[in-house]
Structure 1
């Protein structure tokens, strides 16, 4: 699981992983008459994609991540390719093939990451057709405003079984991430708390800071690292650096 920008040595069952698995299970085990869409939403960096990859491995889900350049044809081709099929024919042909594959295994979810783009590009109705005709569980992943975007598409909004909001990383999650990223190094709670705070609870930033913590510990030969040992090393907060004074820099000041 080295995708989504999270460099970890093994799967970590964070709060958002558990929440995503709960959503997937609810959709898979739902009553046949219940709606088949689930929505997992939250800010960038909260670990939504990582949670979906974890669930993909556990549920054999078909998972695609919508690109900014995608069309209806690209979406269908990607779903079919992920399902192990060779996409061919017209858009209608591929839609029918997708419906057939999803319908043949209704316990296998379809996970669509970056689903905001489907709404923006007016492609979400195609996904509604896929779900309606196959009855397969479909999980849409997107940013914090995805539910509001879907609210404007009533025929999709009415088919959502549950809405789950991704949560910021807490101390328990941070300890689990530290154990995975920094094996053999005891990261002090004071340093972890500072990392979580400086990272705004965003898992992706926390991972980068934990990688730095591991480097500091290894370079000094330490088996433990706390806030004091971290020293003056900058924390990664994803903020761009301030503009430099080029004239002063050129003079060596």
Structure 2
């Protein structure tokens, strides 16, 4: 049976209005509610459903980040993951941590933990990069099934329905493999109180990127972070003729 490695990222909660710091070096994170990246919740849920079907034997939740990333791992454990790995990265190193660094960490952990399936969310809602799954698969030289909206395990591997621009695409891939979860893959469960209590006893291993031999030196320099321009207020027009006249004035038609 398979062992599954699931990446879970701590992000600013989706319901929070993000504010840019006055010095434009980034966004305000102090005192701001954080939670698990929604696509990663879907990834964890899919791994748990596979375990419930006796398709996988163990689920390992991994998060890279500061001490608070452990809260995200505990959420995954309360949902049903078996153990956690916290890759401690903080301060300026975390500010410039990129998908390439996370991919190298996940690839190394997949090998160390003898996992034969890696599941991550298709993208994080903070940086929207959509790169980690693809690069992890490339580093491991494993097949990849990205934007998955349905996953079925077969004797020969996996049959995955993918969400693409033109509709849906069904592919078959062999194991080991890397999957990235799309929005319609499943509906994540809520952690129950008994499971939250049980999660406190589940193990979380702490390591650093250096322990894994991964260099997290910054490859980018943030020049400036700015808010999008404020949209101009609309106006109500009395009839279609006035609308067309206004559009012509603005050079839109």
TM-score (norm 2): 0.26
Scaled by the length of structure 1, what TM-score is found? 0.26
Larger % of strand: which? 2
Task: Give the structure with the larger helix fraction.
Answer: 1
